[in-house]
Amino acid sequence: MRTLKVALHQMNYTTGDFRGNFERTKASILACRDADLHVLPECAVANYAAGDYLLEADYQQAIVHWTEQYRLLSAEAGVAIAVGTPLRGKVQGRKMGNGVVVFDRGRAVLSQFKTHLPNYDVFDDVRWFETRGEQVGADAETGVWRLEAAGGAITLGFCICEDIWFDDVTRELRDKGAEVIVSLNASPYAIAKGNFRRRLFDQRIAETGVPLVYVNQVGGNDELVWEGCSAIVDPAGTIYEMEIGREGADVVPLADEGQGFRLARTQAPIQLSDPQERYLVVGLGLRDYILKNGFEDVVFGLSGGADSTLVAALAADVFGPAKVNAVMMPSPYTSAGSNTRAADFAAGVGDGFSAISLPITAEYEAGLAKFHAAFGRDMGSLADENLQAQIRGNTLSAISNDHGRRAILGTSNKSEILMGYGTLYGDMRGAFNPLKDLYKAIDVFPMLEMRLAQAKAPDALFARIWEQAFGTPLQPYDAGAQAALRAVIDVEPSAELKHNQRDTDSLPPYPRLDAVLWEMEDAKERQTDAQIAEKLGEPLAFVQDIRRRVRRAEFSASSRPRAPRSTAVPHHKDRRFP
């Protein structure tokens, strides 16, 4: 019986940290050196999220140098390693090719370029890479490699990410005798993508009749987040899938008893609820943006409303309460209930996080007086509201700048940003905004409900997956924090920038609004306003008004800070309106 032990290395890489990335991968490989084949993600050496660094000569030289270190590692450890790395292409110009190299005990036994370069959604591969089709000679071919393993040699075929979204590369590898196909990936997260991806695996396996090994990276880089979920699927439909969000390696055995390779060990995919999954993935993006950019802690405005409370909950769970700094900035319009909710929540999460109160009434009234003295009239209503938000933004900037390495977190959700219901340089100020790709009704409130339920009656699976991904448990909530969070969810949303204000004074109810916005922004099919109106049972004029407001808000929306992408259509890489 032939056997094959594959080590799936689900790694979290930092762009430019070549040494750190190599050392963490080396440790992962040495921890399971008895595997027959170690598989790393796509572009592991350079990090897939390197952007235009991939076009810089010094960066390219560093890629070549650190790729060589993997060859030396394979000799030192006596192992075979499949490394995702850019390769020198046929043109010794600005571009390299997105490739894979297999090193076996110090020898390069296979080198192959990516065939299909994605140029949609968040992907811009054509800008950075050459394709296999642009190469000449052996570089223009797919290759297979005979691995000597227990019980006999095994023919392996290799491809890279987008190549498994088409049937030509995997069929070509099977025609060349591949008994197992190995795919190196940097496939970013989007809600529901996991099920779609598994259906794709099944389709490729049905066409080739051989197992598929899928290795994906994990963690965040700017907007993009990778959830991992590396997997092996065999022709019997059996799957071994690594757990979402966890960095590390699993060694998975396959065996051939005469009918081709089949999994000798299985692990079903983790099934989290949508709010749990989004909370985890947004947390990964938040953690890695702050830590990889060298920030020491975070600061944000805490109003007692849904959005800032969700940011507070995420920050406390991700970083621990000691690194969370909230600022309550009441104005003459802030209700007593808002202040109480914010203070009680801050005090009751874990050991409590810092939440100081810095009222803005004096600065606000001074601003109104200065305006009246200069122009002989009172400030207009909208300017009056924006002034309050901008004073709050200035306060956060002063705290951030004084500390030096304290990042401001934004607290505006996707619904408000798209509709222009936010203040430039005010509540939209921030280094990073965890909520920017989260709709108010579709995402924010369900995530708050989920977090409250977790505090009251913990879901053991979610608690375990979180602690595994972050190395720290979810924070406990005392009775005061639970009551405050319940009140936050139940209170009618209000910006509290004038007396008796409600969000519905300026916006449609969030469930109706979000349904239309989702169809406009995130639905895969492009639809006219009339089609959206018919689909949702809404008046055409209602849909058209939302469309107009979204278009008019592009000026402020385009100035938003970065954020973790959680839906299929992000708000930076693939939303390019004038």
The enclosing domain of 226 has a CATH number of 3.60.110.10
**326 pLDDT more than 90:** yes
The reply to whether 302 falls in a domain is yes
Q: Within a domain: residue 136?
A: yes
Tell me: do 302 and 419 sit in the same domain: yes
Which range of residues forms the domain containing residue 476? 294-502
What is the reported pLDDT for 115? 95
Q: Are residues 409 and 333 in the same domain?
A: yes
Place of tokens 């390019």: 576
218 and 320 share a domain? no
Q: Do 226 and 370 lie in a common domain?
A: no
Say yes or no: 112 and 235 in one domain: yes
When pLDDT is averaged across residues 49-62 and rounded to a whole number, the result is 94
Distance CA 440, CA 359 (A): 27
Burial 212-236 (b: 16+ CB within 10 A, else e): bbbbbbbbbbbbbbbbbbbbbbbbe
Q: Are residues 41 and 144 in the same domain?
A: yes
Q: Which residues are catalytic?
A: 42, 114, 161
Number of domains in the chain: 2
**Domain for residue 548, yes or no?**
no
Residue ending a domain, among 451, 469, 502, is 502
> What's the average model confidence in pLDDT over 269-296?
97
Domain end marker among 271, 302, 322: 271
Asked, for residue 91, whether it belongs to a domain, the answer is: yes
pLDDT surpassing 90 at residue 137: no
For range 115-141, the mean pLDDT: 88
**End position of a domain, from candidates 218, 236, 271:** 271
Of residues 229 and 554, the one with the higher pLDDT is 229
- Residue 42 burial (CB count, 10 A): 24
Task: Indicate whether 252 and 350 sit together in one domain.
Answer: no
16 and 71 assigned to the same domain: yes
Task: Compute the average pLDDT of residues 453-478.
Answer: 98
Distance CA(140)–CA(172), nearest Å, equals 13
Q: Which residues contact 18 (CB under 8 A, 6 or more apart)?
A: 45, 62, 65, 66
Q: Are residues 249 and 338 in the same domain?
A: no
**What mean pLDDT comes out for the span 335-343?**
96
Whether residue 267 is found in the same domain as residue 299: no
In this prediction the pTM is 0.95
Is residue 448 in some structural domain?
yes
Residue-level pLDDT at 559: 77
Would you say residue 524 lies in a domain?
no
DSSP-H helix ranges across 320-360? 336-348
Q: Are residues 209 and 349 in the same domain?
A: no
Any domain includes 312: yes
